[in-house]
Amino acid sequence: MDDLKNIKKLSAFEFSSMLLDVAAKNKENKEVLNAGRGNPNWINTSARRAFFRLSKFAMKESESTFMKPQIAGYINSENIYSRFLEFLKEDKEEDIFLKKVVNYCIKNFNMDKDELISEFTNGCLGNNYPVPSRILKNTEKICFEFLRKNILFNEDTVGNTKLFATEGASAAMCYIFKTLKINGFLKKGDKIAINTPIFSPYFQIPHLHDYEIVEVDLDSKEENNWELTNDQLEILKDSSIKMLFMVNPSNPGARALKDNELNALKSLVENFRKDLIILSDDVYATFVDNFKSIYGVLPYNTILVYSYSKIFGTTGVRLGVVGINEHNILDDILKNYTSNKKSILKKRYSLISLNPDSLSFIDRLSADSRDVALSHTSGLSTPQQILMALFSLVSICDKKNSYIEECKKIVRKRYNNLYKGLGIKGYDGEENSKYYTILDIYKISEALYGKDFSEKLKQKADTTDFLYYLASQKGTVLIDAVGFKASPGTLRVSQANLPSESYIEIGKNILDMINSYKEEFENEK
Ligand X SMILES: *Cc1c(COP(=O)(O)O)cnc(C)c1O
Q: Which residues contact 514 (CB under 8 A, 6 or more apart)?
A: 441, 444, 445, 448, 449, 457
Residue 397: CB minimum distance to ligand X, A? 23
Residue 281: CB minimum distance to ligand X, A? 5
By CB under 6 A, name the one of 169, 254, 285, 387 that touches ligand X.
169
Question: 5-64: which residues touch ligand X (CB under 6 A)?
Answer: 38
CA distance 512 to 510: 5
Candidates 23-31, 165-173, 370-378, 509-517: pick the segment binding ligand X (CB under 6 A): 165-173
CA distance 100 to 402: 16
**307 lies in the binding site for ligand X (CB under 6 A):** yes
Question: 79-98: which residues touch ligand X (CB under 6 A)?
Answer: none
Residue 465: CB minimum distance to ligand X, A? 26
DSSP 8-state assignment for residue 423 = T
Go through 457-489 and write b for each residue having 16 or more CB atoms within 10 A of its CB, e for each that does not.
beeebbbbbbbbbbbbbbbbbbbbbbbbbbbeb
CA distance 61 to 78: 11
Q: Which of 153, 162, 163 is nearest to 257 (CA)?
A: 153
| Binding characters for ligand X, 60-79, by CB under 6 A (x = yes) | --------------------
Residue 248 or 301 having the CB closest to ligand X: 248
By CB under 6 A, name the one of 36, 40, 123, 168 that touches ligand X.
168
Residue 150 or 251 having the CB closest to ligand X: 251
Residue 251 or 286 having the CB closest to ligand X: 251
Count of beta carbons in the 10 Å neighbourhood of residue 13: 12
HSE-up (13 A, CA, CB side) for residue 463: 24
Phi and psi at 494, nearest 5°, equal -100, 130
By CB under 6 A, name the one of 34, 309, 437, 463 that touches ligand X.
309
Q: Is residue 81 within a helix (H) or strand (E), and if so which, with residue range?
A: helix 80-87
Q: How far from the centroid of its chain's Cα atoms is residue 262's Cα?
A: 19
CA distance 480 to 482: 5
Residue 307 or 382 having the CB closest to ligand X: 307
**322 lies in the binding site for ligand X (CB under 6 A):** no
Residue 228: CB minimum distance to ligand X, A? 17
By CB under 6 A, name the one of 76, 103, 127, 170 that touches ligand X.
170
Closest CB to ligand X: residue number: 168
Cα separations in angstroms, 197 against 216, 241, 245, 264, 490:
12, 18, 11, 20, 11
Candidates 91-99, 307-315, 438-446, 447-455: pick the segment binding ligand X (CB under 6 A): 307-315
By CB under 6 A, name the one of 320, 323, 475, 489 that touches ligand X.
320
Number of residues in contact with ligand X, rule: CB under 6 A? 13
By CB under 6 A, name the one of 278, 283, 479, 510 that touches ligand X.
283
Candidates 123-131, 166-174, 292-300, 364-372: pick the segment binding ligand X (CB under 6 A): 166-174
CA distance 446 to 450: 4
**382 lies in the binding site for ligand X (CB under 6 A):** no
Candidates 12-20, 55-63, 93-101, 164-172: pick the segment binding ligand X (CB under 6 A): 164-172
**315 lies in the binding site for ligand X (CB under 6 A):** yes
Question: 415-454: which residues touch ligand X (CB under 6 A)?
Answer: none
Give me Rg for the CA atoms of the chain.
Answer: 25
CA distance 312 to 320: 12
Candidates 2-10, 73-81, 93-101, 168-176: pick the segment binding ligand X (CB under 6 A): 168-176
| Binding characters for ligand X, 192-211, by CB under 6 A (x = yes) | -------x------------
Residue 75 or 247 having the CB closest to ligand X: 247
- The stretches of 326-450 forming alpha helices (DSSP H) are 329-335, 339-349, 361-368, 382-396, 402-422, 441-449
Site of interaction with ligand X (CB under 6 A): 38, 168-170, 199, 247, 251, 281, 283, 307, 309, 315, 320
